[in-house]
Amino acid sequence: MTHGYTPIDEIPAIHASLRATFRSGLTKPVAWRQHQLLQLARFIKDNQDGLASAIHADLGKPLHEVVMGEITPVFERALMCASKIEEWSKDESITDQVQDWQKGWNPRIMRQAKGVVLIIAPWNYPMILSLQPLYGAIAAGCCTLLKLSEIAPHYASFIAENLPKYLDKDAFRVALGGVPEITKILELKWDHIFYTGNGRVARIIATAAAKHLTPLTLELGGKSPVIVDATADIQLAAKRTLAGKTTNCGQICVTPDFVLVERSVASKFVEACVEVLKGFYPQGALNTPSYGRIVSEEHYERLKGLLDRTKGRIVAGGGMRPEEKGIEPTVIADVERGDSLLEGEIFGPFLPIVTVENVDGAIDYINDHDHPLILYLFTTNEATKTKVLQNTTSGNVCINDTFTQLSINEMPFGGVGESGYGRQVQYYSYENFVYGRAVCEIPYEEEPFHVLRYPPYTAESVAFFSQVMKTPIPQSTNPAEVEVKI
């Protein structure tokens, strides 16, 4: 069953209804939030087949990838949130951190819901990137409008039809539509916006949010590089890199975008990539149900244009089937700086390989460009690990694998700079939608200790509040100015 777009003239009413629900206090009790999280888990469990079919209809995504990367993680995390929300929601006492004369004030931090929030979800990893922030909003006690992408219409329609059967309709709504609908939605004041997508659209959303001073979480992407040094297990480096590149046909924000490989092992790495792809797809990637397809004609044509400019440097793959939007995983060697493959996020199954003299050259290349969402590093050299970690900036780092960092529930995930800001997964998804409300209680009985703060001011009162300035400052030395003696 397909749903039509949300009528534009109904959007303000939906917003007003969600705000009224939040003001009613419905979402505040922990027990209510736990129930909604368990309902989200029930929705996933009851609708596994329907969710997988919808995602396959939009992306040609293999069942294995949907189960491994979307259904199972969101189901597990919804259950985990339900079990941990009571602990997360407790007031945090800071009595042991304040000065002695403030300890009687019962200083504490309350985690309170921000209010009515907007989640704008992408098409490329539709389930985990729409329901992961949603479980965070539920856990926080926020009312939510979930705007799904029109580029994945089967998934969007399935969610719009079935999710309201499980969640409280007064607190959680789904919106469908394209540019006119999201434009109207962004005219309204939200208490937080969570957007997953690309930097171009993120700038539009950030501009709209700025008009209302609305806080944002932006989970973007960019060109996540892979560094391969001479000490790496080259065969495994190729296998694990291509496992990341071929998942969802390379249409994921954490996909390894390109490889920076040391010259001494460059040819060996290229050969390993060719061998790995033969092992992954003995009959060819486009002849197996273990490989997905490009999401839209527009995106297919963009990738085709990019592939047409590779000028004979393809060492594996390159096959295309326009009638089914199929493009084989493609390895391109001898890619130089300034190549069109290195200009923007590929978001497809192409793996450009760039040769560098050494790890220092790879670090310089990374630092000359926008900060990536993920930096992948293959090495067995501890000094190299330290050097890369200390001399680069990225949202996350994964050493000697790709994608597996996403399975750690306790680690924050997110970008920096052009790859976004804010964090998610489990507690960090919850944290997006709450704010720390500082609370203290000053006993009336302490009034004798406060008399000096009141007018009329005197020399005695000034002297009292100036006492801290008598505190001696410890001696220190600027290490950069110390002469190194050998």
Query: Which two tokens mark 225?
Result: 């590089």
Residue 3 CB-density burial (10 A; 0-12 exposed, 13-18 middle, 19+ buried): middle
Query: Which two tokens mark 447?
Result: 């009034």
- DSSP bridge pairs for 144: 117, 172
- DSSP bridge pairs for 218: 195, 421
Number of neighbouring beta carbons within 10 Å of residue 483: 4
| Chain centroid offset of residue 482 CA | 42
Number of neighbouring beta carbons within 10 Å of residue 479: 7
Q: Which amino acid is at 57?
A: A
DSSP H stretches of helix in 115-211: 126-140, 153-162, 179-187, 199-210
**Are 92 and 81 spatial neighbours (Cβ–Cβ below 8 Å)?**
no
253 catalytic residue (yes or no): yes
Among 65, 219, 262, 418, which one carries the catalytic annotation? Answer: 219
Query: Which two tokens mark 310?
Result: 């590779």
Nearest to 54 by CA among 43, 42, 66, 64: 66
Cα torsion 153, 159, 164, 170: sign = negative
Residues in the chain: 486
219 catalytic residue (yes or no): yes
d(CA 105, CA 165): 46
Among 143, 249, 253, 273, which one carries the catalytic annotation? Answer: 253
Active site residues: 219, 253
